[in-house]
């Protein structure tokens, strides 16, 4: 039996889709075999090679995408486009119609003649519902035929007359379709796809995800009305995809994810405005250089690739990578970006960048900075820190990780970033600035906006009495000493008094005055490894409060004419205590709580009692 004519045909066995890549004998066995590449690459056993002999090559790079099956193995029945449409949207009604037709034939037409009442024909009960539902096929605008074993206009090869008749029936049956999903079917010929599209005069969106299409060469087909094309997991090469876009004269959105693409070797149609290349194998932005000529491109998604650098090799200064200013939205999430120098260059590569997604990269699994800079043990940065350190490096951003950036977000982030640069400069000799500052290209710009950070190097510390420039970063930051008293473990049965049983931990942090209490508590939670809402923050002010009614009365009745007593000193200091103010949860800036001339504060961290926690969680 000669089965070579079935090579490249699509088949389905027990619901598993595949493409026939080989037909013939296999050494060491008897009879004929079909070598198939499964759409699910984990379904097979090899890559087309058996006992050292290669019989076919799979498009998938997975080593277990192929296997051999006998030609006699029964395949699932393919469907035509209209068979799948009726199966999905009108099966129960067509089955009812077929049952009634068989019943009419069995019982005789006389029993099922139209009923006339006062000379008017009344349709039989039930058929009006069927006809109504079938008529609704003509109103369908969004049609999903994914996974229904659609082979094309016809289920099998037919004559030209049958093909043309089927196309005409498609046009009459569902003329209003705007969006069509033919994903994960048995399609492989672009001629069939083009004929279906030509029959649907209003079609705009076409989804062919998961099919295994033949290369679109030599067919001269045109898809005039399609504006969005989805080709996910089709395993088409980039050159095939590129050539295909020129056959879609109105195409604006192209989605070609999960196609093993590592390099963009040819340009696309200039009509493309949105391009999605997620879950491919791109490792550098310079691999996309062929796309810089797309002046209309406004949205680019590279999520889930392997990107970890801008340039594959040393950058060419004469021809830097730079996209059109019209490209405003870029998704780089879930790649392999692991350094801030990459982020610093994004504004150069994408000069029009306004919307960025960059979450899920190793960059955010690092610490904010080494302990010599932050003064804290190295810990993975929080989501808030990653957010601030990203947006502060790109001045043009308006949205980051789906969140809109407010003016307050930006000022907080840039102040925080500038303070870290100041700490880094303080941690090293002055001569190191020439190596440090190039890593922070926005430093001069931020200094113009907020003033230069105070540099306190160990060899030249400034005194606390030095006046603070009101425009400087120091004037916008509050240096807070957070104090927490923890219980010490009691060794054995030794007797310890209350004071000896406690150890005070002090952590100092500079915080923007525009932070609210929630943000401050998030910082404290990280500093002391405390769970949120399980502690209180008490500001220990320098003001004194009376603790007895007598002192309260004395203070209220103070006689300013009595010059023998200094009013700034309480007459009984033992009856006065420092005023304490709790930082109550809220969105108001802490700058409203601390006066503008206050640059340092001490805040006591009190671990809340169980009853307090339960009350907060109610």
* Domains of the chain in sequence order: 7-67 (2.30.30.190), 132-311+321-429 (3.80.10.10), 472-487+501-546+573-612 (3.10.20.90)
pLDDT value, residue 282: 97
Distant-in-sequence contacts of 24-30, Cβ < 8 A, 24+ apart: 24/55, 26/50, 26/55, 26/68, 27/51, 27/53
- pLDDT band of residue 457 (cuts 50, 70, 90) is confident
The string of pLDDT tens digits covering residues 76-118 is 999 999 999 999 998 755 555 555 555 555 545 444 445 444 4
pLDDT value, residue 40: 95
Name the least confident of 88-92, 155-159, 468-472.
468-472
For 205, list phi and psi in degrees, rounded to 5. Answer: -115, 125
Higher pLDDT, 303 or 495: 303
pLDDT of residue 492 exceeding 50, the answer is yes
- Ordered DSSP codes for 478-497: EEEEEEEEEEPP--TT----
Q: What percent of the chain clears pLDDT 90, i.e. is strictly above it? A: 55
pLDDT value, residue 66: 96
pLDDT value, residue 568: 45
Distance of CA 567 to the CA centre of its chain: 63
pLDDT value, residue 607: 86
Q: Are 37 and 19 in contact (CB under 8 A)?
A: yes
Q: Are 204 and 180 in contact (CB under 8 A)?
A: no
**337/349 Cα distance (integer angstroms):** 15
Rounded to the nearest 10°, the torsion over CA 312, 317, 318, 319 is 40
Q: What is the mean pLDDT of residues 18-24?
A: 95
pLDDT value, residue 595: 63
pLDDT of residue 498 exceeding 60, the answer is no
pLDDT value, residue 102: 54
CA count, 13 A, side-chain hemisphere, 261: 31
The model's pTM: 0.72
Q: What is the mean pLDDT of residues 140-162?
A: 94
Q: Are 206 and 180 in contact (CB under 8 A)?
A: yes
Q: What is the mean pLDDT of residues 312-333?
A: 87
**131/97 Cα distance (integer angstroms):** 9
Q: Tell me the angle at which helices 407-426 and 383-391 cross, rounded to the nearest 10 degrees.
A: 90
**442/395 Cα distance (integer angstroms):** 9
The pair of structure tokens assigned to 171 is 């046009």
The total of other beta-carbon atoms located within 10 Å of residue 151's CB is: 25
pLDDT of residue 324 exceeding 90, the answer is yes
Cα distances (angstroms) measured from residue 614 to each of 34, 498, 537 = 68, 26, 18
Partner residues linked to 17 by β-bridges: 12
pLDDT value, residue 569: 47
Q: Is 563 helix (H, G, I), strand (E, B) or coil?
A: coil
pLDDT value, residue 418: 92
**Residues listed for the chain:** 618
The string of pLDDT tens digits covering residues 548-600 is 444 444 444 333 344 443 444 444 444 566 778 888 888 778 877 776 667 78
- pLDDT band of residue 529 (cuts 50, 70, 90) is confident
CA count, 13 A, side-chain hemisphere, 565: 12
Name the least confident of 128-137, 225-234, 331-340.
128-137
Average pLDDT of the chain? Answer: 82
Q: Which helix (H) or strand (E) holds 357?
A: strand 355-357
Q: What is the mean pLDDT of residues 132-154?
A: 88
The string of pLDDT tens digits covering residues 62-77 is 999 999 999 999 999 9
Of 210, 138, 143, 204, residue with least CA distance to 176: 138
Higher pLDDT, 576 or 431: 431
Q: Are 268 and 254 in contact (CB under 8 A)?
A: yes
Distance of CA 171 to the CA centre of its chain: 39
pLDDT value, residue 316: 63
Q: Is 258 helix (H, G, I), strand (E, B) or coil?
A: coil
Higher pLDDT, 591 or 312: 312
Q: What is the mean pLDDT of residues 346-375?
A: 85
The string of pLDDT tens digits covering residues 162-203 is 999 999 999 999 999 999 999 999 999 999 999 999 999 999
The pair of structure tokens assigned to 111 is 């029993």
Contacts of 508 (CB under 8 A, 6+ apart): 375, 479, 480, 481, 482
pLDDT value, residue 585: 84
The pair of structure tokens assigned to 480 is 């807070």
Strands 329-331 and 299-301 come out as: parallel
Q: Are 332 and 357 in contact (CB under 8 A)?
A: yes
Q: Tell me the angle at which helices 443-450 and 407-426 cross, rounded to the nearest 10 degrees.
A: 110
The string of pLDDT tens digits covering residues 277-297 is 999 999 999 999 999 999 999
């Amino acid at each position: 039996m000669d089965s070579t004519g079935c090579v490249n045909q699509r088949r389905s066995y027990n619901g598993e889709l595949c493409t026939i890549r080989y037909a013939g004998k296999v050494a060491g066995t008897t009879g004929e075999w079909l070598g198939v590449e499964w759409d699910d690459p984990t379904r097979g056993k090899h890559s087309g090679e058996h006992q050292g002999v290669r019989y076919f090559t799979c498009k998938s790079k997975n080593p277990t995408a192929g296997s051999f099956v006998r030609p006699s193995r029964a395949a699932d029945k393919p469907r035509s486009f209209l068979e799948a449409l009726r199966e999905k949207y009108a099966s129960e009604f067509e089955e009812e119609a077929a049952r009634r037709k068989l019943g009419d034939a069995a019982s005789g037409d006389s029993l099922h003649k139209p009923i006339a009442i006062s000379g008017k024909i009344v349709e039989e009960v039930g058929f009006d519902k069927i006809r109504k539902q079938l008529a609704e096929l003509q109103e369908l605008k969004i049609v999903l035929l994914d996974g229904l074993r659609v082979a094309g206009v016809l289920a099998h090869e037919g004559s030209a007359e049958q093909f043309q008749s089927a196309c005409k029936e498609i046009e009459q049956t569902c003329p209003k379709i705007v969006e069509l999903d033919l994903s994960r079917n048995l399609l492989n010929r672009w001629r069939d796809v083009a004929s279906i599209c030509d029959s649907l005069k209003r079609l705009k969106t076409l989804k062919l995800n998961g099919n295994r299409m033949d290369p679109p060469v030599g067919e001269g087909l045109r898809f005039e009305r399609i504006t969005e094309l989805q080709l996910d997991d089709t395993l088409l090469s980039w050159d095939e995809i590129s050539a295909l876009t020129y056959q879609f004269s109105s195409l604006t959105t192209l989605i070609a994810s999960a196609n093993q693409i590592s390099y963009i070797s040819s340009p696309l149609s200039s009509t493309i405005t949105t391009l999605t290349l997620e879950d491919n194998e791109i490792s550098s932005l310079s691999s996309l250089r062929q796309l810089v000529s797309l002046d209309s491109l406004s949205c680019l998604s590279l999520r889930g690739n392997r990107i970890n650098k801008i340039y594959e090799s040393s950058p060419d200064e004469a021809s830097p990578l730079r996209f059109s200013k019209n490209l405003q939205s870029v998704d780089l999430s879930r790649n392999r970006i692991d350094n801030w120098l990459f982020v610093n260059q994004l504004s150069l590569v994408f000069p029009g960048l306004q919307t960025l997604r960059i979450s899920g990269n190793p960059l955010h699994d690092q610490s904010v900075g080494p302990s010599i800079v932050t003064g804290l043990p190295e810990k993975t940065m929080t989501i808030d820190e990653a957010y601030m350190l990203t947006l502060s490096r790109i001045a043009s951003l308006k949205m980051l990780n789906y969140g809109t950036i407010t003016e307050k977000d930006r000022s907080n982030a840039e102040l925080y970033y500038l303070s870290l640069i100041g700490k880094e400069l303080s941690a090293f000799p002055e001569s190191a600035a020439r190596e440090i500052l190039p890593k922070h290209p926005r430093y001069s710009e931020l200094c113009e906006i907020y003033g230069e950070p105070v540099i306190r190097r160990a060899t030249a510390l400034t005194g606390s009495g030095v006046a603070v420039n009101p425009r400087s970063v120091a004037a916008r930051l509050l240096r807070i000493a957070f104090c927490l008293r923890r219980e010490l473990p009691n060794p054995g049965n030794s007797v310890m008094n209350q004071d000896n049983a406690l150890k005070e931990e002090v952590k100092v942090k500079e915080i923007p005055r525009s932070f609210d209490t929630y943000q401050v508590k998030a910082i404290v939670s990280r500093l002391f490894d405390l769970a949120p809402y399980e502690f209180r923050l008490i500001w220990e002010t320098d003001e004194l409060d009376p603790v007895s009614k007598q002192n309260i009365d004395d203070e209220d009745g103070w006689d300013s004419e009595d010059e023998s007593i200094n009013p700034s000193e309480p007459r009984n200091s033992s009856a006065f205590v420092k005023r304490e103010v709790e930082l109550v949860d809220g969105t108001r800036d802490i700058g409203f709580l601390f006066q503008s001339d206050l640059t340092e504060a001490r805040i006591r961290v009190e671990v809340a009692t169980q009853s307090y926690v339960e009350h907060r969680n109610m």
